[in-house]
Amino acid sequence: LPCSAPHLQALLLFQECIKPVKVDKQPGKAAAKIRIEADGSYFQVNQDGEAQKLEKAKISLNDCLACSGCITSAESVLVSQQSHGELCRVLALNKAAAAHEQKLVVVSVSPQSRASLAARCKLGLLETAQKLTTFLKGLGVHHVFDTTFSRNFSLLESQQEFVRRFQRQAEDNKALPMLASACPGWICYAEKTHGSFIIPHISTTKSPQQVMGSLVKGYFAEQQHLPPDRIYHVTVMPCYDKKLEASRPDFFNQEYQTRDVDCVITTGEVLKLLEQEGVSLADVDPSPLDTMLGRAAEELSSHRGGGSGGFLEHIFIHAARELFSIHGASIHYRPLRNKDLQEVTLERDGQVLLHFALAYGFRNIQNLVQKLKRGKCPYHYVEVMACPSGCLNGGGQIKLEGESSKEELQQVERLYESLRAESPEENQAVRELYEHWLGGWGSARALQVLHTQYHAVERASSALSIKW
């Protein structure tokens, strides 16, 4: 279901996406009716009019079946360790703990969340970042980072991975198309619905959230002379499915028994935190922005290519240069059946050299997968996102009061695109980390730290037999 209809989703998910609970049937009775109260309670009503309150089943992350109804909106998945309430609990315990038992609390904020919060609070992006830093540190957070920094690594690794795949396509028929991997909703759907068929096509590059997890629990922990489990790392994301991503076993450090990202809260949950504390962000004093290398940031920067990270554009420009010696390739999007399905081509002398596409929303994703299965997918790369309109329209974003969804999204887009776009290759701090911590471009350590793997998930037959 599209994330732009949260109230409808919540109702449908409560009715449909629930782990089955056995209900004993009384012999000789007709089927009972189910009544749903305004507060979400369920009652079974028999023919005599007697009502019995039903226990509401809870589903965990591992119960998620990646059915098409809930994959982009996990509002009803009750995740006890992935909420602003859990963050408040940890902060309270941290303040009360002895000094040698306290954890260093780091919050990494996504640029999409910052844009949504800025729109809601009627502030500029830099103001929002500075004031949010003050607010979070007032709660007991020690460092506040921007995941734009980690996205540099995701973009650079994706660029290099695509070139490698393109060069080996003759001997590997699953090297292309390469499919983006930054969206956990899409990854969950792919693993559980199409499994071993689709997985070889998915980019192994970690998402910006998980790259940030590796940097915070790796590089930053070393700089602070702390083991990874002495850092509590929180991310602020536009999407509920980022909670699913952070909980993957692949991102759990067995040696230190800690996750790369301990807790994910959505943009909407940040607003709840502000309201809970009785704070208006506009009234908060600004603070200097933190950076991973310890230097205060004077300004914010972004990347070209839209609100979902710009993967298509960065890979396209890099591939044109590296594979065909075409510098500064221009990008012209050609919409197909809808604005969430567009393609880009690189041509020379009438020959198509590169054929890329973006596919947002599950209708377009399903069509893409069917083309791939029929051997009729013409693309070399596809930027895949589960949410219609991409990450800026994620289910965890703030819904503005009195705004239509279209106007609201346009407002967030304008703010998001107002920043100076930076090339990942030109970021000096990124260069330093590659050289001094990762062992250089394309090193074995970079591959280990910045890449991951995917797993085909077998559906349980009992689950498949359920009629949702």
Burial of residue 41, with CB atoms counted within 10 A of its CB: 0-12 exposed, 13-18 middle, 19 or more buried = exposed
Q: In Å, what is the CA distance from 188 to each residue of 128, 245, 358, 364?
A: 32, 9, 18, 16
- Residue 62 is predicted with a pLDDT of 47
Which residues does the chain have with pLDDT short of 50?
A: 1-21, 23, 60-63, 65-78, 461-468
**Does residue 131 contact residue 322 with C-beta atoms inside 8 Å?**
no
DSSP 218: I
Nearest-5° angle of CA 157, CA 163, CA 164? 90
Q: Where does 97-240 have alpha helices with state H? A: 111-121, 125-139, 148-167, 184-189, 195-198, 208-214, 221-223
- Residue 76 is predicted with a pLDDT of 41
What residues pair up with 451 in beta bridges, in sequence order? 205
- 144 Cβ partners below 8 Å, 6+ apart? 106, 107, 108, 109, 132, 133, 136, 137, 289, 290
Q: What's the whole-model pTM score?
A: 0.82
Name which of 202, 245, 205 is nearest 382 in CA terms.
202
Q: What is the dihedral of CA 8, 11, 14, 16, to 10 degrees?
A: -70
Please state, in angstroms and rounded to a whole number, the distance separating the CA atoms of residues 358 and 313.
10
Please state, in angstroms and rounded to a whole number, the distance separating the CA atoms of residues 237 and 254.
25
Token pair recorded at residue 154 = 């995701």
- Residue 122 is predicted with a pLDDT of 93
- Residue 24 is predicted with a pLDDT of 54
Q: In Å, what is the CA distance from 57 to each residue of 54, 327, 440?
A: 9, 56, 50
**Does residue 424 contact residue 303 with C-beta atoms inside 8 Å?**
yes
Q: What is the dihedral of CA 53, 9, 261, 419, to 10 degrees?
A: -150
Is the omega angle on the peptide bond into residue 378 within 30 degrees of 0, that is, cis?
Answer: no
- Residue 460 is predicted with a pLDDT of 54
- Residue 183 is predicted with a pLDDT of 95
Phi (first) and psi of residue 412, to 5 degrees:
-65, -40
